[in-house]
Amino acid sequence: MSAAMKLSNFPGDVKFFVISLLFPMHLSLTTANVQSSFGSKTAYELIHPPPEIVIEDEFNSVQVGTFSCLAAHSSSVMRHGARYPGLEDVQSISKIHKDIHDKLTSDKFQQLKEWKNSFPQNNDKMLMALGEEEQLHLGQRTARRLRSLFVDEDMENFRFLVSSKQRTQESGNAYYEGFLQALMGDSEEGDMDSELSDETLRFHERCQKYIHTVDKNKTAIVEFYKFLSGKEMTNIMKKVHSKLGIPDDLLKTEDLRTMYLVCGYETALYQSSPWCSLFDDEDFKVLEYLSDLKHYYKNGYGHKITAVQSCPLVTDIFTTMDDAIEAMESEVDEEDLNGYVLGNFYFGHAETLGPLYAALGLFNDSLPLTAENYLQQSSRLFRTSEILPFSANLMFILYECDQNDELLTESEAADETRETTQYMLRLYVNEKLMKIPGCEDFTCLYSQVRKQFVDLISCNFSKVCDYNDRPRDEL
């Protein structure tokens, strides 16, 4: 049914209600003096503190000139919630701790000396309880902000797509639980009917050109390795050796990165970590930039194929919106209208969302990130702690817009050729309204946005990902 039809279910003017949200106590660390820049291993609510209140139907309507718009469809792409580290990092930090343990003499680092590795000794990278909470809260907020669009609808009008990895499936389940609670009450329970779709969410494992030229090609991230062995990282290593009072050749810069990652994981789990005490504010900035370099060249703008390979996801998003518009424009009576997809929910990975950002032209710095321009990039857009933390999310909202005759001039009202209905699009990234690249305003004609990305929507995945040992991509 159309957005206009849905609104008719609610008598009188659209009313806005303020709903208080309660969050677990451990999330109070967002207001404390806690480091929150751990690159892609940052807990979502640490870097994007949730609002104390959520306005019901906050995203449901918008006024664009003489057009009054109501939400008709939404498509959301989520990275999974906070997870445990993989086996390589778990084993590396145990080795580092073993190497420095007997050489720690200062009482200042007694906590570090007594530290025990509590991470799972497997490579499943399973979802933490915190990751479930991130997704639960995200599902609640989305449902409340678009309540009039979603409420009283058959769940068959929603799609939930997950990858083959447990962390995306559990993230989807937690999101779905919060989504239902916000729409139907806290006691509402149900199983998510999801589609497993690695084709749209793990395209990086199917694109041979990406696999050979980027993922399994160390030269593709040469800027990361150059920075890893550069003066900024070497300086941190010297400071850490001095703080700990250990031999100058005991640690390598690779070890600093592992210690930084564990600092982030434990901050998410326990609100603090003794590994964090080894770094000062400037160190964290350098280590964050190191993380950004890796993602820039593996999951961002470093190589063209990274963005292009996301076309199956882009195609699915826009095809679903095309179908929604076709259904709304049909002349079938409301009771005979076969319901279209009101909500598309994708649960993927950093390797899903990063390439999608690049495909859409989001967070694109005019100057590429390199090992040499760390100081110049202090105000960079491509900052993974902010744009690609755990539970990072992107949402398109499609609006059906009808012209409000009361806002027309006499001459405009007399114009029989004017369009009375239009379809508009808005974009939210990590729950914040953003301009769609190429659009002048926050609300943009759907047809304009679709035209802008038509090459991605109509791409031949097999062709663009074909690899015959051709020369590697360049910046």
- State residue 18's pLDDT score: 39
Q: Residue 414 corresponds to which tokens in the numbers above?
A: 């007399």
295 contacts 289 by C-beta, under 8 angstroms: no
- State residue 29's pLDDT score: 40
Neighbours of 123 (CB within 10 A): 14
Q: What is the DSSP letter of 407?
A: G
**pTM of the complete model:** 0.90
Q: How far is CA 234 from CA 231, 251, 275, 344, in A?
A: 5, 10, 18, 46
- Write the pLDDT tens digit of every residue in 220-256: 999 999 999 999 999 999 999 999 999 999 999 999 9
Residue 445 has pLDDT above 90, yes or no: yes
Helix ranges (DSSP H) in 25-128: 44-47, 87-101, 110-113
Residue 325 has pLDDT above 90, yes or no: yes
Residue 25 has pLDDT above 60, yes or no: no
- State residue 279's pLDDT score: 96
Helix ranges (DSSP H) in 299-436: 304-308, 311-329, 350-360, 384-387, 410-414
Q: Residue 270 corresponds to which tokens in the numbers above?
A: 């326990």
- Look over the chain and give the mean of its residue pLDDT values, rounded to a whole number: 89
- State residue 26's pLDDT score: 39
Name beta bridge partners: 53: 20
Residue 16 has pLDDT above 50, yes or no: no
Q: Residue 189 corresponds to which tokens in the numbers above?
A: 């329970």
Sequence-separated (6 or more) residues with CB below 8 Å from residue 158: 150, 341, 342, 343, 344, 345
Residue 345 has pLDDT above 90, yes or no: yes
Name beta bridge partners: 395: 76, 428
- Write the pLDDT tens digit of every residue in 141-156: 999 999 999 998 888 8
Residue 82 has pLDDT above 60, yes or no: yes
Which one-letter amino acid corresponds to residue 412?
E
Residue 323 has pLDDT above 50, yes or no: yes
- Residue 335's pLDDT band, with cuts at 50, 70 and 90, is low
- State residue 225's pLDDT score: 98
Name beta bridge partners: 427: 396, 434
Section 274-298 average pLDDT: 97
